[in-house]
Amino acid sequence: MAVSHATANASRVALVFGGSRGIGAAAVQRLAADGFDVAFTYVSRADSAAKVTENAKGHGGRVLAIRADSANPDAIESAVAQTVAQLGPLNALVVNAGVIGGGPIGSVPVQELDRMLNINVRGVFLSIQAAVPHLAADARVVTIGSNVSILTGTVGAGVYQLTKTALIGLVKGAALDLADRRITVNNIQPGPTDTDMNAGALDALAANSPLKRVGSADEIAALISFLTSPESGYMTGTTVTIDGGYTL
């Protein structure tokens, strides 16, 4: 049974970068259920964003969908500004926006390398940086990495692994920089999860798991819920892997 933080988090505001599908959409729903007013970004799927908005509003709070590409620094700044202007200062920031791609290291075009670095690393850094002036004391920052930082898993995943490994160092530095305001910064590393990103590969991924299944987006969202709750206040600069033992 999900534990609600609605009472503790009354009138609190969360912003989710990359919230229109998969783990991000589940995070929006869980944060709304926990009592947050929630803003989230999407890139192109207005239909998905509208569905997420409608579902999240069912929890009684305010919900704001913002079209913003995390490859664009101006769009990141604008998303934060719109959220603060319409909902108020940020109590939680979840940076989930990311892309998967790459290829064998000998043949990755520099344009593909730049695309993944721009969204998966630079975009995460800039999202946190843009939010810093608007984070309330005791705010929570959560980034979404991947268990590929521990185990590559497939040939051609080196660039993706590079970008997700970078988040481990980023949260450590950010956690120190923001500790004087009692703001915590933590990183979640999901393993194979039942999202459209893994469509067509779920059976194969499950076969390689000790639990013989993949995770659900709601299970990842439950960890996000804890890391954005008052109960996680003594936990910062940490990377937590949730992958059903995939990397044991």
Residues designated catalytic: 160
Distance CA 137, CA 183 (A): 6
Give yes or no for a contact between 71 and 115, defined as CB atoms under 8 angstroms apart.
yes
Output the CA torsion sign for 139, 145, 147, 150. Answer: negative
Angle (deg, nearest 10), helices 110-117 and 158-178:
30
Distance CA 46, CA 183 (A): 32
Buried b (16+ CB within 10 A) or exposed e, 41-77: bbbeeeebbeebbeebeebebbbbbbebbbbbbebbb
Name the token pair of 38. 């929630």
**Of 77, 96, 124, 129, which Cα lies nearest the Cα of 27?**
96
**Of 182, 199, 175, 192, which Cα lies nearest the Cα of 245?**
192
Which residues 6+ apart lie within 8 Å of 151 measured at CB? 246, 247
**Of 55, 56, 53, which Cα lies nearest the Cα of 67?**
53
Cβ burial of 104 (10 Å; 0-12, 13-18, 19+) is exposed
